[in-house]
Amino acid sequence: MTSPLAVGERIIALLDEGLFTATYKYGVLLGLLDLSLERGADVGQGALRVTTAQLAAKVLAAYWPQVRPLPLHEGIIPRQSGRGSRDARIVRLIADYKQRTAKEWASPFEVRLRRHDDYGRLVIEVERVLIEMPLPRLQYVGASSDEFLYQINWTRDVSRTLVARYLRGERTDFDNVITLRPGVASALIQLNGLLRPLIQRSWTLKVAQLNHLDEMVLHDFLFGQERVALARVRAPLAELQEERCFYCGERLDSRFDVDHFVPWARVPNDNLENLVAAHAGCNNAKRDFLPAVRHVSRWRARFDPEARESRELAGIASGRQWPSEPAATLGTARAIYGKLPSSAKLWVLADEFEERGTASLVL
């Protein structure tokens, strides 16, 4: 079993390693972090098995908002690989797709809902890149490979024909499983609050360097939440909550916000279950803190199939064509809250906080 500290140190070493000319390693690391959060709570210290297709969906989601013109920069989409080479293939795929359909879909999940075939093809192309490039190369620090994060059953020399046949859905002996070593998923969950900002910052620095841009401007462009898109579910969420603020329970005014219950800074999750209507004041006071246990207990009702909330949420998701992944969202919350020390500060209301304590929390 690997200790969290050891995993953290090795990932920091990876971030410093200059082996990659494109930004793929950041995408892969964030993708593994997301999958550990969604699926890792149940494996404990065990090994977590995920597939290359699952990782591809996460990596696609990370790149998607980044492939758009930079404001005030003559409509240029920031490069994500060195000048000598063509731009990173994942970036080209997304840029081509957006140009071809002339649509600004808010997220790949929206493409999945509205244009299922296109989405499938994009994921397959991202999966091809991951299999051939970063996955078999990522764990090289210096000249030696050390599979400290995950184990896969192919190498850098994998046959492209074999991969192509696998991606066409033919029966092959290509094994698409990525096995996170025992303890790694658990460590990633525990270190999420440290590693995510660190990986995002390294990614930002790399893109700033490649494009001669200011890092401060770029971070929000690459990783900020796009509030505009949330407008589509704003009114139905308020209705679901009977026009009351999710946190303080008082009536909503006209300027209320859509808030990410598990904060966006902890995990970028736009699924409907994770969105609540809240006063702008309550939302601002909450910032990137996790909500207190009392809020979690109320939020939990959204996942109870018998509860009115869960039925109405399902109705909103299909009516507004908004992504909804209850199991993944709940899994993520379970993973994050499960790793909190009893001294962790949770947000109650306004400037009031409380410690996580030892009270049991059903998630």
276 touches Zn ion (CB under 5 A): no
Q: Which of 181, 279, 295, 302 binds Zn ion (CB under 5 A)?
A: 279
**Measured from the CB atom, is 20 or 247 closer to Zn ion?**
247
Say how many C-beta atoms besides its own lie within 10 A of residue 100's C-beta.
9
Of 12-20, 236-244, 266-274, 275-283, the window that binds Zn ion (rule: CB under 5 A) is 275-283
**Measured from the CB atom, is 286 or 339 closer to Zn ion?**
286
Q: What whole-number distance in Å separates Cα of residue 200 and Cα of residue 331?
A: 23
Our CA angle for 329, 291, 45, nearest 5°, is 50
Name the residue among 167, 138, 169, 168 with its Cα closest to residue 152. Answer: 138
Amino acid (one-letter) located at 99:
Q
Of 40-48, 88-96, 176-184, 244-252, the window that binds Zn ion (rule: CB under 5 A) is 244-252
Of 75-83, 93-101, 196-204, 273-281, the window that binds Zn ion (rule: CB under 5 A) is 273-281
**Measured from the CB atom, is 196 or 295 closer to Zn ion?**
295
The size of the interface with Zn ion (CB under 5 A), counted in residues, is 5
124 touches Zn ion (CB under 5 A): no
333 touches Zn ion (CB under 5 A): no
In the bound state, the residue with its beta carbon closest to Zn ion is 245
Q: Which of 55, 233, 238, 282 binds Zn ion (CB under 5 A)?
A: 282
Of 49-57, 84-92, 171-179, 247-255, the window that binds Zn ion (rule: CB under 5 A) is 247-255
**Measured from the CB atom, is 36 or 241 closer to Zn ion?**
241
**Measured from the CB atom, is 17 or 239 closer to Zn ion?**
239
| 155: its two tokens | 């190498």
| 306: its two tokens | 């018998």
Q: How far is CA 170 from CA 118, 161, 167, 191, in A?
A: 20, 11, 7, 38
Of 33-41, 66-74, 271-279, 294-302, the window that binds Zn ion (rule: CB under 5 A) is 271-279
- Give the shortest CB-297-to-Zn ion separation in angstroms: 17
Tell me which residues in 55-94 interact with Zn ion (CB under 5 A).
none
- Give the shortest CB-322-to-Zn ion separation in angstroms: 23
245 touches Zn ion (CB under 5 A): yes
| 51: its two tokens | 């597939």
248 touches Zn ion (CB under 5 A): yes
Q: What whole-number distance in Å separates Cα of residue 145 and Cα of residue 154?
A: 13
Dihedral sign computed on CA atoms, order 34, 39, 45, 51: negative
Of 89-97, 133-141, 199-207, 274-282, the window that binds Zn ion (rule: CB under 5 A) is 274-282
* Binding residues for Zn ion (CB under 5 A): 245, 247-248, 279, 282
